[in-house]
Amino acid sequence: MKDKKFDTKAVHFSTIRESAVASKVQPIYQTTAYSFKDLDDIEEYFRGNKPYLYSRVDNPNNDDLAAGVARLEEAPSGAATSSGLSAILCAVLAVAQNGDHIVACDDLYGGTYHLFASELKTFGIDVTFVSFADQQSIQEAIRPNTKILYSESITNPLLRVEDITGMVELAKKNNIVSMIDNTFATPYLIQPYVQGVNVVIHSATKYIAGHSDVTAGIIAGDQNIIAKAKEKMANLGCNLGPFDAWLAARGLKTLSVRMERQVKNAASLAQVLTEHQAVKKVYYPQSANEKGNGAIVTAELSEKADIEAFFQNLSWIKIVATLAGVETSVSYPLRTSHRSMPAELIKKLGITKHVVRISVGIEDIEDITYAFTNALDHSL
């Protein structure tokens, strides 16, 4: 049978389970537990002959979502968790333990940086942050106890496109597991697993779900690692609720059409911002994929621009601490996503008080560009 193309797989990933009611869409299994006929029937679960016991461990809706994203990533296995950060934590703990070491890119999302720099220390895991723009720096940071190379396919918020091929080569050379957060790109633009990455992670809160109404995470990749990650998820209480999983799976079906519009709008907005006198620099990838370069635009306003006036004049554009919904929004990394990063690292990366991160939505591009040019005009 001919394999389906990406857009078709995004819509038809769900496996409808046999039921007395022939539902067109996957039902919501809003239950904490599953019942058994007798004690022998319970033993069948532990022998691997029955799929579900307790929703903290697994649920059909979670499986449906995880399998759908894994399929789009062309990975053999997936797991759904309660958030992007819990997905990162479970993936890391599936590979690294007390006494191990991780090498991570230094231009990470601030929440990931904090997890790695602070929380992993309580597990006895050490992390070294280096520029992944320089392969020699990565190689020099690797130790005998290094277990993971970690990066983002498109970094947050300065939108550097990772050299995934080079990263994979280094990981294989040193017998290290490679992990990529693919949230910004989504499998619509980049499929890291196809390029040899062992584990791909998503904050499904963002483009996978797509409508700013659910918090979820996804891990996809090598089957043995995903199996261990699912154990961590269950034991640490990082499971995703069935209704949230159902919402995210519903959102996944429109990933292609949303990304197509959002990527097109972002490219247009980036060009407009480049030409505005209130903007010093625009960060927007130029080499992500032939389909486009993502739906995030980061801009550094000029020193003469009043950042407060810019935010006060955004009209219908929402100011939020997250991204990727169908509505265009703006965040301020210095005071939200990256405020816990060390000041010296923020300065080194160039995340100044004039940097704003724009998540471009599906609205009419003329309305989007007018809203931003108007706010920029008022900032001068």
Supply the residues annotated as catalytic: 56, 109, 181, 206
Cis ω for the linkage preceding 157 (within 30 of 0): yes
Straight-line distance from the first to the last Cα atom of the chain, in angstroms, rounded to the nearest whole number: 60
Packing angle, helices 255-274 and 365-379, rounded to 10: 40
Which amino acid belongs to residue 18?
A: E
- Residue with the two structure tokens 């601030």: 110
C-alpha closest to that of 327 among 244, 159, 213, 218: 213
- For residue 202, the cross-strand partners are 218
Burial string for 211-242 (b: 16+ CB within 10 Å, else e) reads: ebebbbbbbbbbeebbebbbebbbeeebbbbb
3-state secondary structure 317-355: CEECCCCCCCCCEEECCCCCCCCCCCHHHHHHHCCCCCE
Strand 296-301 with 355-359, pairing: antiparallel
Cβ of 28: how many Cβ atoms within 10 Å? Answer: 17
286, 297 contact by CB (below 8 A) = no
3-class DSSP state of 373: helix
3-state secondary structure 21-85: CCCCCCCCCCCCECCCCCHHHHHHHHCCCCCCCECCCCCHHHHHHHHHHHHHHCCCEEEEECCHH
Residue 66, CB-side half-sphere exposure with 13 Å CA sphere: 30
- Residue with the two structure tokens 């277990």: 147
3-class DSSP state of 360: coil
